[in-house]
Structure 1
Amino acid sequence: LSNFVLNTLVMKKPISGEPVNGKMYFSGSLRDHVCGWLGGMIWCVGLAFSLIASGQAGYAISYGLGQGATMIAVIWGVFIWREFASAPAGTNKLLLTMFISYIVGIVLIIAANQ
């Protein structure tokens, strides 16, 4: 429910770019929609496995692996949707730093289980 409310608000008052309406969602290509649906399905399967395994793996490991889902979302955004294709010079270095820092953070959280 909150997703519909928040998406509608951000569409009307975007952080950057022009406001859009709901009709524009349906003007997207089938390929774009299928990529989005596939990403959602992958996310759901990962969450289900995380919930199933959390009882056996422990809280720190489960939380750390669950946060890996965020990295999957970032990978989709950067490489599939090419959200930073027209970003200014130096953005790729920042993205690489973000990837490395986030992964190090996940590893440290998982290591806290020891």
Structure 2
Amino acid sequence: TYAMRRPFVGAPVSYREYFRGSLPTHLVGMLGGAVWCLGTAFSYIAAGKAGAAISYALGQGAPMIAAVWGVFIWKEFKGADRRTNTLLAVMFLFFIAGLASIIASGGN
């Protein structure tokens, strides 16, 4: 409701306009929710088997995958200056080091 009233981009949307959306559009939203639900369920299952720390670290790897796609597949930073590329490399290193630290902690 808040995002409908104060969207990041575009004009505010009413509930009436929302329900005028096509079935395929609503199904894509439901599919996204189902994928999120499945991921959360797998995270809880992994926490019971591998421990909360490892499960959390695996779940937090998703932004890293998104960053890899953005940088290397979609080339979102193509033509960026040297400083930006250095910051991207540092970001990848720190993110991986953080995930490795969480995994190494083993829930201690």
What interval of TM-score do these two structures reach, taking the shorter chain for normalisation? 0.5 to 0.7
TM-score using structure 2 length: 0.57
- Residue 55 of structure 2 corresponds to which residue in structure 1? 62
Q: List runs of 5+ in structure 2 lacking aligned partners.
A: 70-74, 78-83
Q: Percent identity?
A: 45
Alpha-carbon spacing, 1:35–1:61, altered in 2? closer, same or farther (3 Å): same
**Displacement, 1:15?**
3.2
TM-score using structure 1 length: 0.55
- Secondary structure of the corresponding residue to residue 76 of structure 2: helix
Alpha-carbon spacing, 1:102–1:26, altered in 2? closer, same or farther (3 Å): farther
Question: Structure 2 CA distance, aligned partners of 1:27 and 1:101?
Answer: 46
User: What per-residue deviation string (whole Å, max 9, x for no partner) do you get for residues 43-89 of structure 1?
Assistant: 11111121122022122211112234x54xx96xx9xxxxxxxxxxx
Query: RMSD of the alignment, in Å?
Result: 3.5
How many pairs align?
A: 88
Alpha-carbon spacing, 1:46–1:92, altered in 2? closer, same or farther (3 Å): same
Question: Structure 2 CA distance, aligned partners of 1:46 and 1:34?
Answer: 18
Question: Rg bigger for which structure?
Answer: 2
- Residue 76 of structure 2 corresponds to which residue in structure 1? 92
- Residue 23 of structure 1 corresponds to which residue in structure 2? 16
- Residue 52 of structure 1 corresponds to which residue in structure 2? 45
Q: Kindly indicate whether residue 32 of structure 2 is the aligned counterpart of residue 39 of structure 1.
A: yes
Question: Structure 2 CA distance, aligned partners of 1:31 and 1:22?
Answer: 18
Q: List runs of 5+ in structure 1 lacking aligned partners.
A: 1-7, 79-90
Question: Structure 1 CA distance, aligned partners of 2:51 and 2:4?
Answer: 39
